[in-house]
Amino acid sequence: MQIEKLRGKGLDQLFESVLSLNNLEECYRFFDDLCTVNEIQSLAQRLEVARMLREGFTYHKIESETGASTATISRVKRCLNYGNDAYTMALERIQTEQTKE
């Protein structure tokens, strides 16, 4: 896990803060204060790239629909294949919640 090197009080505080958020509106407010617009867009873009890769879209289609570079797509694919399965976990949970609604 790459992030292990950063583990500590500051990162714990960040993650605890995210976990304390109760709804989508609170997330919007928190991330608006925490991140720049570009940082938020980059995070959202990576998650969308992960979703599209899992669904079998080509690099070309992902690049044209998301604006992500092939380097970003490759990095996300590497995480999907060799990472901590967190993209898959999150995307499956989102899908489960959406089917409940």
DSSP-assigned letters across all residues of 59-83 = HHHHHHHH---HHHHHHHHHHHHHS
Average pLDDT for 19-40: 98
Q: Tens digit of pLDDT for each residue in 53-95?
A: 999 999 999 999 999 999 999 999 999 999 999 999 999 999 9
pLDDT tens profile 32-55: 999 999 999 999 999 999 999 999
Looking at per-residue pLDDT, the higher value among 84 and 1 belongs to: 84
Q: What is the pLDDT of residue 16?
A: 98
Give me 27's structure tokens. 């997330």
| Token pair for 42 | 């980059």
Contacts of 91 (CB under 8 A, 6+ apart): 47, 50, 51, 54
Structure tokens at 56: 């079998």
User: Which pLDDT score is estimated for 1?
Assistant: 67
For residues 3-13, average pLDDT:
93
